[in-house]
Amino acid sequence: MSNLLDEKFTVVPGVFNPFAALLAKRNGFKAVYLSGGALTSSYGLPDLGMITITELADMVRKIHEVTDIPVIVDADTGFGETLNVYRTVRLLEDAGAAAIQIEDQVSPKRCGHLDGKEVISRENMIEKIRSANMARKKSLIIARTDSRAVKGLDEAVERARIYIDEGADIIFPEALTSVDEFKYVADKVDAPLLANMTEFGKTPLIDAGTFERLGYRFVIFPVTTFRAAARAMDETLKALKSDGTQKNIMNNLMTRAEQYDVINYKFYEDFDKNIAERDKKML
């Protein structure tokens, strides 16, 4: 089983490619969250369930290829119904996912912080959780409920309890609107909880320490790295367009040395060199 729950509390930044995951690890984070919203945005698409399971599994595999940091994967609504959920979990786990998150929204899903969401019935979600539970061998199953915004906080609490009883390991109560609501859920749900600290949504900015004090086991910052990178790219492009040179923004750029360090350039170079030398000796 994944050891994600060994830690008492884990701060988890969102990532959308292997480079971001490598950077997260270098900065001391112990897990990353492969965000559907950030990944689809990086493809130039809206977070409306438009990416395919193959694309998602491929990204998990690519991250797993270069780093052993545990990846929590946002699998949206599970890519279909019960049988699809089974296959989704198998594919993501085989690709290296440490935890797989499935939500109870109607497809096509929306960002949990937008209005106009709908949720599937409790029964329908129970089937998905059972299916995910049967499919997994070592990954954790995170059940996200979007019902707070649709049916109120007590329905979210009720669903959380049911989802845990049906085999989910962690509950992700989506789009809570205050510290009091996070506390309410923590008081009422006896299970590992994950808080979503996305920005520009329905949740005010709350720091990691507060979530830890409330008893949450994880806080994710799912789209923060994407939004920061997007802003940086935009400002860089504006400067290039207006100045025709990067001279004025050199301090904003990661250096070649730093970039190569992140991607372990030297390791691969040395590896290649050593192989060549070894070949020579053998001749």
Ligand X SMILES: C[C@](O)(C(=O)O)[C@H](CC(=O)O)C(=O)O
Alpha helices in 67-121 (DSSP H): 82-95
- State CA 257 to chain mean position distance: 28
Q: Which span sits near ligand X by CB under 6 A: 22-30, 35-43, 147-155, 176-184?
A: 35-43
Q: Report the nearest approach of ligand X to the CB of residue 12 (Å).
A: 11
Count of residues touching ligand X (by CB under 6 A): 15
**Residues 79-118 close enough to bind ligand X by CB under 6 A:** 111-113
**Per CB under 6 A, 166 contacts ligand X:** no
Q: Which of 198, 211, 214, 216 binds ligand X (CB under 6 A)?
A: 198
CB 219 within 8 A of CB 176: no
**Per CB under 6 A, 35 contacts ligand X:** yes
**Per CB under 6 A, 222 contacts ligand X:** yes
**Per CB under 6 A, 169 contacts ligand X:** no
**Per CB under 6 A, 74 contacts ligand X:** yes
Q: Report the nearest approach of ligand X to the CB of residue 222 (Å).
A: 3
Question: How would you class 132 by CB atoms within 10 Å of its CB: exposed for 0-12, middle for 13-18, buried for 19 or more?
Answer: buried
From residue 122 to residue 161, the character string flagging contacts with ligand X as x (rule: CB under 6 A) and all else as - is ----------------------------------------
Nearer to ligand X, 47 or 104 (CB): 47
Q: Could you give the C-alpha distances from 264 to 60, 67, 261, in angstroms and in order?
A: 19, 11, 5
Nearer to ligand X, 36 or 70 (CB): 36
Q: What is the dihedral of CA 92, 106, 167, 33, to 10 degrees?
A: 40
Q: How many residues does the chain have?
A: 283
Tell me the HSE value of 60 on the side-chain side, using a 13 A CA sphere. 29
Distance (Å, whole) CA 129 – CA 78: 10
Q: Which residues sit at the interface with ligand X, rule CB under 6 A?
A: 14, 35-38, 47, 74, 111-113, 196, 198, 201, 222-223
